[in-house]
Amino acid sequence: MKATVYTGIACTWCERVKTLLKDNGYEVEEIVVNKDILKELEIKSGEIIRTVPQVVIDNELIGGYHETEELMVGAASINKV
């Protein structure tokens, strides 16, 4: 399983979502964003992107940390929810 995580510099939530994904068996590809990369992601997803992290699994934009955690709820969740 592979996930692509679009991240920013010194982003705590980006680090947390990468850990969450790895703890749930995902191989993580990280892409540090700039305005061109964000624009490309917006075009691909049809969504307006304003924050990082943004997670893509199986070519589907999942969203940020909380949306990703909803997919991973269980014992491996960082928040143990």
Residue 24's DSSP bridge partners are none
Q: For residue 32, what pLDDT is reported?
A: 96
69 Cβ contact list (under 8 Å, min separation 6): 17, 20, 77, 78, 79, 81
Question: What is the DSSP secondary-structure string of the chain?
Answer: -EEEEEE-TT-HHHHHHHHHHHHTT-EEEEEE--HHHHHHHHHHHTS---SS-EEEETTEEEESHHHHHHHH-STT-TT--
Q: For residue 57, what pLDDT is reported?
A: 96
Q: For residue 79, what pLDDT is reported?
A: 53
3 has a pLDDT exceeding 90? yes
CATH for 2-72, among 3.30.70.360, 3.40.30.10, 3.40.190.10, 3.40.50.800? 3.40.30.10
- pLDDT tens-place string over residues 16-75: 999 999 999 999 999 999 989 989 999 999 999 999 999 999 999 999 999 999 998 754
Q: Could you tell me the residue ranges of all domains in the chain?
A: 2-72
Whole-prediction pTM: 0.85
- Name the pLDDT band for 81 (thresholds 50, 70, 90): very low
CA distance 45 to 40: 9
User: Mean pLDDT over residues 6-12, rounded?
Assistant: 95
